[in-house]
Every structure is written in C-alpha cells, then in structure tokens.
C-alpha cells in the first residue's frame, strides 16, 4: 500500500475490543463510509447482547489522525498474539485494521502482556470517546439538542480558555462577547463559534481541537462534534 493511499484513506475498517475484570466489554469501530466520512461506533456489553453507546459520522481527518498515532506507537508492527504477564491479569483485547477487504489487513490480540505502544493507542481512542472504565462521568452525553447541556459548563473557565491567548485562530474580544451570551442561548453560541472555526485553515483547526481537548473540559471528540457538527 502506497504512502499516498494511507494519507488519503488510512484504512477501510479499524476495530478495538477490550475486556477487563468486573467491567463490561468495550468495543470501538471506525469504518469508512465514503472518501470523506467515517462511521464511528462505540458499544459496551457482551458481543451477543451489546448496548450501543453511540454511532456518528466523523471526518476523514479523524481516521488519518488515528492512523498517524498508531504508526507512531508501532501498532502496525505488533505480533499476532500476546499472552499474559508473569503476574497474570484478566485483561483481554484485540485490534483489527483492514486496509483493503480480502487483500491486506493486520490483526493482533492478547492478554495482560501488552506490546509497546498499547497505552498510547488506548489514550488516542479515549479522544474518540472510547469509554473510560475509571471515570464514566467523563463520557459526554450524545445526541442532545443543547450541546452544552451534555457537560457541566464552567463559563468562566471557558471564557478564560478562549480569551487568554490559549486558542490559536480565534479573536479574543469576539469570543468573550460570544461567551457572554452563552447562558441565554447555548445553541446560538455553538452556531457562531462554528462559523469562526470553519473559517480557519485545516491545520489551525486541528491545533485548536488539540488545545481544547487538553483543557480537560471535554474530550477531543466532543469538541469535534461541537465545532464541526
């Protein structure tokens, strides 16, 4: 597979399954829908009786970012199977990456003995709203008409975030004005900030999403939905 193909369409289907002691199975799939969109699906529970957490469309850039992070973490070089460490745990996991159905794919599975880069992959999946076992409240509600109602918004914190030079590409005075209206019209705030966001070049959009995610207010995937729709 050529580098250009990977850059344009990183894979057709990526899936990750994680089962840990006393926790429900967690599953994430990112599947190409067309040349510009991927379907992101997350569920919990047994494979025979899963409970869907959400299914939504995400831009190609989301899959490209995941592919880049997997390459950096060495996921594409993992062995097919891994066992348990000397102190056996109860973690079971599997990764499957299909680049072209029936032609080229990579799969790896294992237990508590995980390869280098495993935790880096998990952290990247958290950015896609893969459920965190230790902090379920960090998962933001899906499909709500008021996007800011899905998290406990600290408007003072949000104002500081946008006005203190931490978010590249946004005019601070404009954003402070926008945030002053947030309590009265959250949906209107979203629309106006989206307009500002869409005027930025793609690389600045990515840097902004990284900065917003690092603020700890919500996941990167939540900010993608908030700003990109």
Share of the chain above pLDDT 70, in %: 68
pLDDT, one tens digit per residue, over 212-228 is 776 656 677 778 777 87
Question: Hey, which bits of 20-174 come out as E strands?
Answer: 26-32, 37-44, 51-59, 92-100, 104-110
pLDDT at position 50 is 81
Q: What would be the CATH architecture of the domain defined by 3-138?
A: 2-Layer Sandwich (3.30)
- Per-residue pLDDT, 146: 47
Query: Residue 114: is its pLDDT beyond 60?
Result: yes
Map out the domains of the chain as residue ranges: 3-138, 147-228
Residue 149 has pLDDT above 60, yes or no: no
- Work out the pLDDT band at 119, boundaries 50, 70, 90: very high
For 34-149, list the strands marked E by DSSP: 37-44, 51-59, 92-100, 104-110
Q: Is 82 a residue whose pLDDT tops 90?
A: yes
Would the pTM count as exceeding 0.85?
no
Task: Give the count of alpha carbons within 13 A of 77, CB side only.
Answer: 7
Q: Can you tell me the distance from the alpha carbon of 223 to that of 226, in angstroms, rounded to the nearest whole number?
A: 5
User: So what's the pLDDT on residue 4?
Assistant: 44
Q: How far is CA 4 from CA 1, 7, 38, 226, in A?
A: 8, 5, 18, 30
pLDDT at 206 over 50: yes
Based on C-alpha coordinates, what's the Rg of the chain? 19
| Mean pLDDT across 195-203 | 84
Counted residue by residue, the chain has a size of 229
């Amino acid at each position: 597979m050529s580098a250009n193909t990977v850059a344009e369409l990183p894979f057709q289907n990526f899936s990750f399954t994680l089962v840990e002691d006393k926790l429900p199975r967690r599953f994430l799939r990112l599947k190409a829908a067309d040349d510009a969109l991927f379907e992101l699906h997350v569920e919990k529970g047994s494979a025979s009786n899963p409970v869907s957490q959400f299914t939504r469309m995400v831009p190609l850039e989301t899959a490209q970012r995941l592919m880049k992070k997997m390459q950096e973490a060495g996921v594409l070089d993992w062995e097919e199977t891994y066992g348990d460490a000397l102190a056996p745990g109860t973690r079971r996991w599997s990764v499957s990456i299909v680049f072209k159905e029936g032609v080229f794919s990579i799969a790896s599975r294992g237990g508590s003995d995980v390869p280098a880069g495993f935790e880096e992959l998990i952290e990247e999946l958290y950015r896609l709203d893969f459920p965190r076992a230790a902090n379920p409240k960090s998962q933001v509600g899906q499909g709500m008409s008021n996007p800011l109602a899905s998290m406990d918004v600290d408007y003072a914190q949000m104002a500081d975030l946008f006005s203190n030079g931490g978010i590249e590409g946004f005019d601070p005075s404009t954003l402070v004005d926008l945030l002053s209206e947030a309590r009265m019209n959250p949906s209107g705030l979203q629309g106006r900030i989206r307009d500002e966001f869409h005027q930025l070049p793609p690389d600045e959009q990515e840097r902004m999403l990284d900065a917003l995610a690092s603020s700890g207010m919500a996941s990167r995937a939540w900010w993608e939905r908030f700003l990109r729709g």
